[in-house]
A = this chain, B = another copy of it.
Amino acid sequence: MLEPMHYELRVIGIVESPLVDLAAAPAQGDEGELDAWIAMESQYLPAMRDLVVGERVIVLTWLDRGDRDVLEVHPRGDPTRPRLGVFSTRSPDRPNPIGLHEVEILAIDGPRLRVRNLEAISGTPVLDVKPVLGPVGTR
């Protein structure tokens, strides 16, 4: 039933972080303090213009080391735990390895965003930034 559809992602920025080792990455950001820069491509400055320090946003990343052909995993990589379908986990191994990261903006320097506690290794491509929705109807 599905027509062949080809959608290409645009990398809008890159994570710059002290975290370079996948094995050291915390499984969820709130388990380890880890601040990072997001270096956005300067062409996206108009899209960033209303971001403010102190705001919480959702950063979408492309977890480019994920295995896109894996459909079941041991949660958190622990082989003693029963395997789960990947749609019941946040594993980076999944058909489209898109990461969701709710973070606080700590600083803004031109096209660079400093954010608190981003659980993605340095070099991870960034796809989008969205507001955490507040009360309905506010934007």
Q: Is the CB of B46 within 8 A of A130?
A: no
B-chain residues with CB within 8 Å of residue A58 when the two chains form the complex: 100
Q: How large is the interface on A (under 10, 10 to 19, 20 to 34, 35 or more residues)?
A: 35 or more
Chain B: minimal CB distance from A120 (Å) = 15
1/0 contact string of A94-130 vs chain B (CB within 8 Å): 1110101000000000000000000000000101111
Q: Which of B2, B41, B85, B139 contacts A49 (CB 8 A)?
A: B85
- Report how far A98 CA is from B130 CA in the complex, Å: 10
Judge whether B88 and A133 touch: CB under 8 Å: no
Complex formed: what's the CA distance from A30 to B137 in Å? 10
CB of A21 within 8 Å of the partner chain: no
14 contacts between A and B (CB under 8 A): A9-B9, A9-B96, A10-B68, A28-B133, A28-B136, A44-B95, A47-B71, A47-B85, A50-B84, A50-B85, A51-B85, A87-B129, A98-B128, A100-B130
A46-B85, A84-B139 provided; 11 other pairs, C-beta below 8 A? A1-B14, A7-B64, A8-B8, A10-B68, A12-B95, A31-B137, A50-B87, A51-B87, A60-B98, A88-B139, A96-B127
* Nearest 9 Cβ contacts at the A-B interface: A50-B88, A87-B129, A46-B71, A47-B71, A49-B85, A7-B9, A50-B85, A96-B127, A47-B85
